[in-house]
Amino acid sequence: MFVQTLHPEIMARRFLWRLGAEVEVGEAPFELLNTTRYLTSPVVRVQATGETIRRRLADPDCPLDFPFLAEMREETVTDYLMMPLRFTNGEIHSASFTTREPGGFTAGQIAAIEAIGPPLARVAEVRGLRRTAINLLNAYVGRDAGERILAGRIRRGDTETIRAVIWLSDMPASPSARIPCRRRR
């Protein structure tokens, strides 16, 4: 899954699951937006058009219109499907699926993947909104506090003892920085 974020330093998060492995969560910086790899990826087309993209990579005549599909073919992927995840606010994110099975996905498997699209979009949207809320709260109330607030562990009137230093200083202006005043006559 590729879900864009509302964060000043992170453009999107990627959730990658491979058979027999844990889910990997990666963060994409805004610099990715200007790279050829991103601009020629199916993600851009799906988010712009809302269309589903399927490429049967086992078929020798399959168009490799996205450069990354050649990499998928090298990894013995036989079928590739990317579908839009439509959020309730109109944003379009994406989820992709691959198989190495000879012949690719069956019609039933495609139907099952498409059926999970709307509930998967809701889960991704809720998790994205929660992450955004935590980021905003952390920006205004301090690191880690946002998550504690959303978890209900901080209530109005609660206090917590912390070790902190408050440093105040007054630096006198240098003589050359003074602005001369003119006297009125």
Residues 39-71: tens digit of each pLDDT: 999 999 999 999 999 999 999 999 999 999 999
Count other C-beta atoms under 10 Å from residue 45's C-beta: 16
Average pLDDT, the chain: 87
Which has more pLDDT, 154 or 115?
115
Residue 185 clears pLDDT 70, i.e. is over it: no
**DSSP 8-state code for residue 77:** -
Residue 174 clears pLDDT 70, i.e. is over it: no
Mean pLDDT across the stretch 19-47? 91
CA–CA dist 48, 42 (Å, integer): 10
Give Cα separations from 122 to 88, 93, 96, 128 (angstroms): 8, 11, 16, 10
Residue 46: closest CA among 94, 104, 114, 116: 94
Query: Using alpha carbons only, what angle is made at residue 136 by residues 131 and 140, rounded to the nearest 5 degrees?
Result: 145
Residue 164 clears pLDDT 90, i.e. is over it: no
